[in-house]
Every structure is written in structure tokens, then in C-alpha cells.
Amino acid sequence: MASLRRLRRRLASEGGSLLVEVLVSASILLTVGAGVVMVLMTSDAQSSLQRSKALATDVAQNKLDALRAIGYNDLRPLSETVTVNEGGVDFTVVSTATPVAQSDAPTGCLTSRARDYLSLKATVTWAEMGARKPVVLQTMVAAPIGAGGGLVVSVTGGLGQAVPNIPIALSSGGGSATTDPTGCARWDAVAAGSGYSLSASVPGYVQPNGEQDVNITGLNIDAEETAQKSFAYDRGGAVRLQFLQKTVAAPLGTPVDSDALPADVVLAASNSITKPVTPVSGAVGSAGLFYPYPSTAYAVYADSCTAAKPATGSPATTTLITAGGTMPTATTSLPLQLPNLNVRVLNGNTATTKIWVKTACGTIIGPRAIVTDGTMKNPGLPYGTGFTVCAVDGSKKVSRIVDNTSYSAPSATTTNILTVPLVNGGTCPFPTP
């Protein structure tokens, strides 16, 4: 009996161990099975990725082949994005053609011809690629003989110095270039042809003709040649003026009223340039930008044409213009003496009679008030002959042709008398409000 009990205890103990062994074996089997499934799934995903990459490579290669078939000049510039379906997959293809200069290409103002190359690049992506890198294929093509030429543009300033950092645009797909420390911008990969144009506009810079915007047209670029073009462009300066006049009450001179500033001034050096006057304070106004000639002073006079230039021997105002500066300075002003229109209105009402003037340049100035003796309150006007002067009092008008060439003080007994008619019917040959 004792032996039977020992056998039973032994069998019970071994039954528990067997159960544990069964559970462990099942766990191992499940783990191995999951691993096998994962390997199979990963293998399938990798196979799909490899297939998509192979298709993307074919798409990129086909695109490069298509680009090579396009005319060389038609590739400049090129940047396009298209969608291509290959093997049931939608691929996005970005194609570019970028000019590439040779490693030892000429620089600056050198006019030797650089060889012309294009870098063709096709970049292919697709939705399922995730964080993987796109497929990129790239190749270089050389320009056929006669396909292109070059262009060198030089920019100089008022001292004849090179002007760097000026961006210049070349039309017809030529792109843009910026002047280097030698003042030159260059294009070494331009399709041969005619009708090219250049443009530039930099705040604060001006040409000798007073224009800020540079527009040069009619450029021709010959195959295998380097065309040349130059222009003057420099930081402009402004002129600050105080406008003076003589009146019956102030025969030695006085500033004009703030509302009597001339609308424009002309500065004449190698060119006569008209700029509007911007009021500063009182009788002071400024005008600019003007090209900075280093040693040639501008002659300064009011109005907008050379007919307003004072005669030799008349009070003259001249000034140098410095690059980026205000002349004379930002705190002082250059005096500009205006000739005094010596007219007197009889039968005029100081409250209602106004004077209108058409200058030698065709500028209409007015209304100007009269004072108690009939003379103008602000007689300082641009220089010139053949002025048309109208006295207007409501519907009553009278006109006369006079010259404005005197710098002497006006007189209350002037002979340039306008008598306002006591009845309607007078005329003025130009419109007055």
C-alpha cells in the first residue's frame, strides 16, 4: 500500500510538469509563427517598394530622354511638374534645366566666350514612398555650335567707378544677373537672337537723365560671340531750395509763402532734368533724385522747360550733387531768387480778384491774391517771356501778355496794368476755375 501511494504522488507531480511543458511549447510556436508572418509581410512590402523604385527609375530615365530630344534653346529655362502613371502607380515628375558654367569660365568684364552647358534633372516621387528619398537622375548636355552666345553689362558711377550689387534682368527668358565688384554682370548661356532688353531699378539710384528705371532695348546676341553693353547708374542726390522774391512791401527780398512754391524745378548739367518740388517747411522745398556729377554743377531754375532758364547775367543758382546726399545740406537750403512779375490790377477787389498766369513753359499758376495797391501778394514766379496774365473777378476777366525777366522790386506804379472791366465780357485765353 505504501508503494502504491508513492507511485500516485510521483505521477501527480509529473502531470504538473507536463502541463507547463505544453504551455511553453505552445508559446514558442505562436512566437515563431508571428515572426514568420512578419517576415512574409515585410518581404511583400519591400518587394512593392523595390517595384515602385524600379518604375520610378524608368519614369525618370524616360523623362531625361524626352528632354534630350527638345531643342537646346527651348530648354532654357525649364522647370515643370507633371504626373505620370506607370504600372498603376501615379508618379510626380519635376524636371529642370539649369545653365552650368564651366569651372574655368571667364568672370567680371572679360569678353571671352564661356562654354554653355545645361544640367538636366528629373526628380520622381510617389505617394507610398513615405520618408524614403525620391529617385533622382541627372545628366549634362553641351550646347551645339551656334546655339548660344554671351552678354556682358558694365555699370559705372559718377566718378567712373565700378558699381556693384546692381541686379539686372535680361528679357526673353534670359534671367537676371548682379554686377560684381568690377561693376559687371554677365550671361554666358543666352540663346542667339535679336530684340533682347535689359532692365534695372534700385531705390535711391538714378541715371544721368534723371530716370530711376533703366530700360535698354534692341540688344542682339550673336552665336558664339559675347555682346557688350554699358550704362551709367549711381546713387542720386537731392537739392534743397529756399525760394525768394521781392515785393512792394519787401523790396530787399523775402521768402515766398508756403502755398506759392513752384511746382517744379529744372536742374541742367549735361541734361536738363525736371523734378517736382516737395514742400519741406515754409519757403523751403526739395527735389530729386539727380545724378551725382563730381565736378560739374547743375544750374537750377524754376518751372519745367529750358524756356524758363534765366538769361546770362541774371541771378543764378548752381549746385553740385553728391551721391546719396542733399545739397546744400539736410539742414540748410540753397537760395533761389525768383524774378518778380511786376503787374498791378486796377478796379480789383482784394477779397475776390485773383491773378492767373500761364508761363513760358505752359505751366498755369494761380490763383494769386492781390494786395491793397493792386500788386500780387506773391509775385515771385519762374523766369520767362510771353507770359499770359489774367485778372479774374467772378465773371469779369482781363488778360495781357507780359515778360517776367526782372529781379528788381515791383512798383506800385508799374506800367503792366490790368484794369478789371466793370462789366462782364472780358476773356482769358486759358481755363481758370
**In this structure, is residue 24 part of a structural domain?**
no
Q: Which residues does 311 contact at the CB level (< 8 Å), separation at least 6?
A: 383, 405
Residue 413, pLDDT > 90, answer no
Same domain? 356 vs 288: no
Average pLDDT over residues 299-304: 96
Residue 100, pLDDT > 90, answer no
Beta pairing, strands 237-245 & 326-327: parallel
Q: What is the pLDDT of residues 362-388, one digit of tens each?
A: 999 999 999 998 899 999 999 999 999
The Cα-based distances of 398 to 95, 148, 299, 347 in angstroms read 75, 69, 35, 11
Average pLDDT over residues 24-52: 60
User: Is pLDDT larger for residue 42 or for residue 317?
Assistant: 317
Q: Tell if the pTM clears 0.85, that is, is over it.
A: no
Going by pLDDT thresholds of 50, 70 and 90, the confidence category of residue 12 is: low
Among 293, 315, 337, residue at a domain's last position: 337
**In this structure, is residue 357 part of a structural domain?**
yes
Same domain? 258 vs 231: no
So what's the pLDDT on residue 293? 92
**In this structure, is residue 23 part of a structural domain?**
no
Residue 168, pLDDT > 60, answer yes
Beta pairing, strands 272-276 & 264-268: antiparallel
Same domain? 243 vs 230: no
So what's the pLDDT on residue 81? 94
So what's the pLDDT on residue 39? 43
Helix count (H) and strand count (E) of the chain? Answer: 1, 29
Average pLDDT over residues 301-310: 96
Rounded CA-CA distance 190/195 in Å is 13
Average pLDDT over residues 52-69: 90
Cβ burial 44-78 (10 Å sphere, 16+ → b, else e): eeeeeeeebbebbebbbeebbeebeeeebbebbeb
Same domain? 186 vs 219: yes
So what's the pLDDT on residue 116? 65
Same domain? 301 vs 317: yes
Residue 105, pLDDT > 60, answer no
Same domain? 157 vs 211: yes
So what's the pLDDT on residue 28? 66
Same domain? 327 vs 375: no
**Which range (9-18, 209-218, 304-313) has the least confidence?**
9-18
Specify the DSSP element, H or E, that contains 153.
strand 148-156
Average pLDDT over residues 27-53: 61
Among 107, 142, 177, residue at a domain's last position: 142
So what's the pLDDT on residue 40? 42
**In this structure, is residue 379 part of a structural domain?**
yes
Number of domains in the chain: 4
Residue 69, pLDDT > 60, answer yes
Q: What is the pLDDT of residues 108-167, one digit of tens each?
A: 677 666 666 788 999 999 888 877 889 999 998 876 666 678 899 999 999 999 999 999
Going by pLDDT thresholds of 50, 70 and 90, the confidence category of residue 42 is: very low
**In this structure, is residue 226 part of a structural domain?**
yes
**Which range (105-109, 227-231, 242-246) has the least confidence?**
105-109
Range of the structural domain that residue 381 is part of: 344-419
Same domain? 78 vs 169: no
User: Is pLDDT larger for residue 28 or for residue 287?
Assistant: 287
Among 99, 126, 142, residue at a domain's last position: 142
Average pLDDT over residues 94-116: 71
DSSP helix, strand, coil percent of the chain (3-state; round to 5): 20, 40, 40
Average pLDDT over residues 101-114: 64
**In this structure, is residue 89 part of a structural domain?**
yes
Q: What is the pLDDT of residues 284-293, one digit of tens each?
A: 999 999 999 9
Check if the beta carbon of residue 256 is closer than 8 Å to that of residue 249: no
**In this structure, is residue 46 part of a structural domain?**
no
**Which range (12-21, 53-62, 199-208, 356-365) has the least confidence?**
12-21
**In this structure, is residue 209 part of a structural domain?**
yes
Closest to 56 measured CA to CA, from 97, 82, 92: 92
Rounded CA-CA distance 135/94 in Å is 11
Half-sphere exposure of 331 (CA within 13 A, CB side): 0
Same domain? 187 vs 242: no
Going by pLDDT thresholds of 50, 70 and 90, the confidence category of residue 361 is: very high
- Percent of the chain at pLDDT above 70? 83
Q: What is the mean pLDDT of the chain?
A: 86
